[in-house]
A = this chain, B = another copy of it.
Amino acid sequence: MNFHYPNGKKFKASTSPIKKKTNTKQVSYSNRGMTLEEDLNETNKYYLTHGIAVIHKKPTPVQIVDVHYPQRSAAVIKEAYFKQPSTTDYNGVYQGKYIDFEAKETRNKTSFPLQNFHKHQIQHMKEVYEQKGIVFVILRFSATEEFYYLPFSSLLNFWERMITGGRKSITKSEVEQNGYNIPIGLNPRIDYLKIVHHIIFESQK
């Protein structure tokens, strides 16, 4: 079964030691059976264990309404709702610098729909950008299994084009021109920090 957050994002129950559920549809791609989120978690784990960066996915925000306290066992949340996240999903530190990003995917082959992003996320990324954080989005074209790093400054241009009446998506060739292709690797799987490193240190030479 598949359901959605208020923001239209798919929810995937993480496997639990408490109780295993198998009713979660895994959006598998390529031959690897990994979701975008799993790929990024693996990538971040690689960065962490190799001392390259400390980047984590934030927990899913939940509005807790009712909690029970069985004797001698853990508190059980009996009623809760998904909340709209007020920030992006991923943030952390790379060589002292603040890193912040959101990862989204599409099955479209020729463009990336801007409806994947939400106003509050754009607002958050703008705030981070003004605070000189490294902020970007990772776009996945699932049909061709391609990943792109798009700096927030470019995303904002396309976003503003949309809100002033322009097209509601970024064409594939605009993504190619304004973004950076992230080659898929074995480990790390999606080495986005290579792009970050290039942008911070090498493009200033």
Within the oligomer, what is the number of copies of this chain?
Answer: 2
Most buried by B among A14, A75, A93: A93
Chain A interface size range: 35 or more
Asked if A202 is an interface residue, CB under 8 A from chain B, the answer is no
A124 within 8 A of partner (CB): yes
Question: Which residues of chain B are within 8 angstroms of A69 by Cβ–Cβ distance?
Answer: 1, 3
Q: Are A133 and B56 in contact (CB under 8 A)?
A: no
Please determine whether B81 and A18 come into contact, CB atoms closer than 8 angstroms: yes
Chain B nearest Cβ from A203, distance in angstroms: 16
A67 close to B3 (CB less than 8 A): yes
Question: Which residues of chain A have a CB within 8 Å of any CB of chain B?
Answer: 1, 3-4, 6, 11, 13-14, 16, 18-19, 21, 48, 51, 53-54, 56, 58-67, 69, 74-83, 85-87, 91-100, 124, 127-128, 130-133
